[in-house]
Structure 1
């Protein structure tokens, strides 16, 4: 069975990939429900701290260390990863709104810069300034969007893999 992949319905996947059998179950064995103060502390140090601080590039290494010590992620630990994925997805929607707004302002200021109306010509320097600011914001938002998409992809892969490993 292939680890669960909730996005196989998307058009970006080829039909052959979408047709593969995915394991949609969630871990239910008693072992994945277990937690101890030591285990929680270990997870907090090696994984949760990276998740909370947005150091997602450290999560995979932290999970490896945690798995070396405890062999599996329990449901609370899996939920911590899922919560970060949800948060990043919300952030992506917000960033999408900012990108759209930046594109609207860029288009509008370009139109004003092409205008030959006397009033528009008077404010040409302001329009140029606004265009530059909006372009920079757009580029920044696109970089953030790209980074978040990559981070979500990594976190989903980790979540899918760990969910599959401990099915009851």
Structure 2
């Protein structure tokens, strides 16, 4: 494990979005998905601003996590850590901050998340954090070729989803 740099975990602010987009793009580039936009990040943040956190080192954002609630279910959204800071426990600290916020006052007796089935690293990380694997979820989509058939612009329903 790398030596842990002096990092603070803070509630995310709108002025962190640029760094979050940069880290997100680097963290998810191997999945061949289009990068999340500022609008995607702003939406994920707007759902639960108090549940979104950043990791800061020398005033630079080096990691982020989104979370939200659906009734009594807590949901951890997208999160990532700058490659230069991985292996230093920052992801664990971000996860801990989001979980603590969701469990505050026993609002969320269950916390869930999604991760790609092909991501052994992610699965191991979450299992070590105490999560268990349940039935996989399938993503079902439909291409909309006629704007009258659907909406003109898709706004993601969850922090981790994007087209």
TM-score, length of structure 1 as denominator length:
0.22
Higher helix share: 1
Which of the pair has more CA radius of gyration? Answer: 1
Higher strand share: 2
TM-score, length of structure 2 as denominator length:
0.23
